Structure 1
Amino acid sequence: MAPCIDALRCPSYAVGCQADPFTGSLYDSCCVSATGLFVFAQNFTNGLSYGPNPWTRNQVVSEIGARFTLHGLWADNCDGTYNGTKWIEPGHTKNMSLPDYDLYGCDKERSFENAAEVIAADSTKSWLADWMKVNWRAGDGDDSWFWSHEWSKHGTCTSSFNPECYGPGFKKHDDFFDFMEVSIEVYKSLDILSAFKAASIVPSDTNKYNLTEFNAAHKAAFGVEGGMQCVKRNGTQYLSEVWTYMNEVPGHNFKAIAPIKGAYQSCKADTLIVFPLTGFKTAL
């Protein structure tokens, strides 16, 4: 999974968004991504079900239960901005009407909408599909499109996964598989549910917690505060996502860092938060 790059171009001490202290230059983009800063997002699907539309359907909520699933590993620029490229074209499998709808990120040629087929075509990756069908779920049930979106919009913007970083042994879709597998490893290293439980924050339809408690629990477990995201329904805040800010270090590894100044956190500090045990039910 590590890029094919020598130690001179990629010293062991390299960190995304930091200049090399000896040269004053940024590190090679195959060593640590040129963007450098990442947001790792995990969905608390029961919370998402309280959002508009609703964001999750009854069947998906009931299958997942009260736990976090992987949303994605998102490359941000070092100042917190991110790639805004839009490719508006006919023929997408999703009929999205929003004017800023985008599937593609930074490399249209490596983007696709059929991730499930790409995985199924590689007999060595059957475990990946099995894992993702349980832990990387789309709220509307269209998992393949969701996985495609995460790779196409975010993976292609992570420069350390560019084909030229691999050398002559690169095979088509090596970058996609590596990005998905690295995202899974990050997810496994950030057990948000256990972190909250250790701080006596447990899913409940009646208990309410404040924003400070959630951030303190994240810091106790991972050394830094996170970004708590909420959705609102009938005046009540429901926890829907947890973001962990990260820097890339060599070998496609990621370390948690404190949120940058002005980091987005949609949960309001002046309103208590429900960490729901059950999802909001709507008729299908």
Structure 2
Amino acid sequence: MIWALVAADLFGTGFARSALGMEQREFDYFALALQWPGTICSSTRHCCAANGCCRSEPLHTFTIHGLWPDYDDGTWPSCCRHTNFDMDKISPLMPILEKYWPSLYCSSSSTCFSGRGPFWAHEWEKHGTCSSPVVQEELQYFSTALDLYFKYNVMEMLASGDIQISDDKKYPLRDVIDTIKDAFGASPQIICKKGSIEELRLCFTKDLEPRDCLTTSAMSKTLTKEKHCPRYITLPTYDPIVFSNSTGEVFTEANNNGIYIYTA
């Protein structure tokens, strides 16, 4: 097995190719980053209406973190165009975004050009603006990510290898990788937290076809041992802490809506 490290979006822009405002070359490939709520939401201590972890029914599927344009050398572009996020532009997608692309935190997200804002604003301004020429505008960015998410259903891939959600069941990391590779046609990246999957990434060419995710040892200095995936990993569940002050309307909507990185 080949073990590799890659910098996550969670760790800031330390490996971004260029500083904000400087010209950045065209990206090489996309990474569709997916989060496992069972790992992230188990650490939730305080709730708010915007946090998907606080819904009355726990999330039992991978949710989208973002669609990230990356470079083959292990770096990535960020904040490429000065275009502020506009919620109105993605209003047709709101029900599906709430369900499959929720924030799993209460704090507002940093943005490139407008300070702080919704989770979606962060993803569009930091990553979506660097997705040209494949993706040109905001609605297309979110639509493209959702299309890939549904076309390449990771839960179905895992089920094909009899890998299920469980608090006590541990699966060989190699089996998880091979199951996804057989179904997807390319090697994913997996990020762990305390032995549980925290994030899983599927990678795509600029033609949106599956490709192996990048393996590089150049990123090893940015990550801690807490991100290492052991030989056996879990897909845990969690008990939600429901936001007590939320309205019935909010939760009706929610209920209808859920590194050590190994690369084979």
Q: Which one has the largest radius of gyration?
A: 1
Q: Which residue of 2 aligns with 1:231?
A: 193
* Alignment deviations for residues 199-232 of structure 1 (CA, whole Å, 9 cap, x no partner): 0110000101121111011111111221111112
1:192 to 144, 151, 154: 154
1:245 to 188, 198, 203: 203
Gaps (5+ residues) in structure 1?
A: 1-32, 86-104, 164-174
2:166 to 204, 209, 216: 204
Q: CA deviation at 1:140?
A: 2.2
* Alignment deviations for residues 123-150 of structure 1 (CA, whole Å, 9 cap, x no partner): xx2xx11111111100125697111111
Work out the CA distance in 2 between the residues paired with 1:277 and 1:50. 8
Q: Which residue of 2 aligns with 1:262?
A: 216
Q: Which residue of 2 aligns with 1:166?
A: none
Work out the CA distance in 2 between the residues paired with 1:212 and 1:162. 34
> What is the one-letter code of the residue matched to 1:258?
D
* Alignment deviations for residues 15-62 of structure 1 (CA, whole Å, 9 cap, x no partner): xxxxxxxxxxxxxxxxxx9212111111111122245878967414x4
Work out the CA distance in 1 between the residues paired with 2:214 and 2:155. 23
Work out the CA distance in 2 between the residues paired with 1:246 and 1:39. 6
Higher relative contact order (Cα pairs below 8 Å, separated by 6+ residues): 2
Q: Which residue of 2 aligns with 1:43?
A: 35
1:278 equivalent in alignment to 2:249: no
Q: CA deviation at 1:282?
A: 10
Is contact 2:58-2:238 (8 Å) kept? no
1:151 equivalent in alignment to 2:99: no
Is contact 2:135-2:141 (8 Å) kept? no
* Alignment deviations for residues 163-208 of structure 1 (CA, whole Å, 9 cap, x no partner): 6xxxxxxxxxxx1011111111111111111111110110000101
Q: SS of the residue aligned with 1:200?
A: coil
Work out the CA distance in 2 between the residues paired with 1:185 and 1:241. 19
Q: CA deviation at 1:151?
A: 0.7
Query: Relative to 1, partners in 2 of residues 1:137 and 1:63: Cα closer, same or farther, differing over 3 Å?
Result: farther
Q: SS of the residue aligned with 2:236?
A: coil
Work out the CA distance in 2 between the residues paired with 1:280 and 1:273. 22
Identity of aligned residues (%): 23
1:110 to 77, 83, 97: 83
Q: Which residue of 2 aligns with 1:67?
A: 61
> What is the one-letter code of the residue matched to 1:238?
S
Q: SS of the residue aligned with 2:118?
A: helix
Q: CA deviation at 1:267?
A: 4.2
* TM-score, normalization by structure 2: 0.67
Q: Which residue of 2 aligns with 1:136?
A: 101
Work out the CA distance in 2 between the residues paired with 1:281 and 1:199. 32
Aligned CA RMSD, in angstroms, stands at 3.0
Query: Relative to 1, partners in 2 of residues 1:226 and 1:54: Cα closer, same or farther, differing over 3 Å?
Result: farther
Q: SS of the residue aligned with 2:141?
A: helix
Query: Relative to 1, partners in 2 of residues 1:52 and 1:267: Cα closer, same or farther, differing over 3 Å?
Result: farther
Work out the CA distance in 1 between the residues paired with 2:176 and 2:131. 29
Q: SS of the residue aligned with 2:171?
A: coil
Q: SS of the residue aligned with 1:196?
A: helix
Is contact 1:151-1:179 (8 Å) kept? yes
Q: Which residue of 1 aligns with 2:76?
A: 82
